[in-house]
Amino acid sequence: MKYIALLVCLSTSQATFASDQIPGKMPDGPVAIVNATIYPMNVPVIKKGTIIFEDGKITAVGKDVDAPEGALKISGKKLHVYPGLFEPYSRIGLMETSAVRATNDYRETGTLNPNVLAHVSVNPGSELIPVTRSNGVLLTMSTPSGGRIAGQGSVMQLDGWTFEDMTVKAGAAMVVSINNQKDVESLHEFLEEARRYQKAVDAQTKPRHDLRLAAMLPVLKKEQPIIVRANRWQNITRAVTFAQNEGLKLIIFGGYDAPKCADLLKEHDVPVILSAVHRKPLYRHDAYDAAFTIPQQLQKLGVRYCISGYDRSSSFNVRNLPYHAATAVAFGLTKDEALKTITLYPAQILGVADRVGSLEPGKDATLFLSTGSLFEATSQIKQAWVNGRPVDLNDKQKTLYRKYLKKYD
């Protein structure tokens, strides 16, 4: 009986963290959203425009575009069409409930794990995925953490039966920690070992296969960037210096002091993923709004950047990504720029702008219809598509809302 009780308990626990939403099915034929306000990102806003997509790809966008015969027409009157919002750094699919260890799979043992791939651990049935996409966030980079090299973050689209269905780009960036000189020396030794392995592979001497060293080859070839968390100017400078000395492509995550290092970042073309706009001042002498003004400063200084809503203790607040950008607008950032910081810019920085980030012919039809500006908390997402497939916008919170609305009706 004890074993039966344990089995029931485990089954109940698994059901608790499984989403009821069914992934969308590709429509038969083209879909046309007509008479809508469209935000393509690569060109100015199109009012009373039409966007057409078929077989998962956008085929036409513009004001004078006719829907093809037989297309499913959706009225966009008084509605806004945006590309799917892109959270560039999160633990979506890797963390469910931080206090329940069994639901957390974002960290491996050991200090050097470059062979770890985040996308294979992503749980497509996570309850946090429907909650996140309910607010227009349809793309994310799920990232591991821990040790000096945590592993490879992967760009995921938030709909699909399996992690293969969800993966847009596996191994988009290698997550590396550089906190002090000891880390620099240890990483240098490991990189030297990887270079020796690379020479053996190039020479076709058939060295003994090493998963960890083989995983570093794209990094050494600058095909894959490393992403280093750094907020203070000393740590940003250390990370840039390390990357230049080792000949690596670098992305800074955090970036609180990035405006102070603007010249250095521009000189070496190092982009910044701001870890959040809603955060406290880092220094005691900073103004209360110091973090809120960083995006506007980086825009003026010409540093490449994008905005994240990262919260290391949880993943359920990824849905608040548009409000981080909205706060930046309230403190000086232009609205057009703010939209790009959570759509086009993360796609460019993470190397997937050929597929997502803007509404252009040939790109994935990952987009949504909103009742108003996505910077307004009162705006509602009416419909969404991921790679052309309609998305179920229901989630656990909406279900509970309807349940208790009925109770007190």
pLDDT digits (tens, 9 = 90+) for 86-127: 999 999 999 887 778 778 888 888 899 999 999 999 999 999
* Cα distance between residue 324 and residue 87, in whole Å: 11
pLDDT for the residue numbered 7: 39
Q: Residue 213's pLDDT is what?
A: 96
Supply 384's token pair: 């969404």
Domain 21-84+357-393: CATH architecture, name and number where available: Roll (2.30)
Specify the pLDDT at position 3. 41
Measured distance CA(166)–CA(179) in Å, rounded: 33
Residues contacting residue 107 through CB under 8 Å, at least 6 positions apart: 144, 145, 146, 150
- Asked if residue 275 lies in contact with residue 254, where contact means CB atoms within 8 angstroms, the answer is yes
Could you tell me the CATH superfamily of domain 85-179+218-356? Metal-dependent hydrolases (3.20.20.140)
Model pLDDT, residue 209: 87
Cα(143)–Cα(174) distance, integer angstroms: 9
Residues 6 or more apart whose CB falls under 8 angstroms from that of 48 comprise 35, 36, 37, 63
Stated as kind and residue range, the H or E segment containing 227 is: strand 226-230
* Backbone torsions φ then ψ of 268, nearest 5 degrees: -105, 10
**Residues 122, 160 contacting (CB under 8 angstroms):** no
What is the value of pTM for the model shown? Answer: 0.91
Q: Give the 3-state secondary structure of residue 106.
A: coil
pLDDT at res. 34: 96
Domain spans of the chain, in order of start: 21-84+357-393, 85-179+218-356
Ranges of residues in the chain whose predicted pLDDT is under 50? 1-16
SS3 287: coil
CA distance 228 to 309: 17
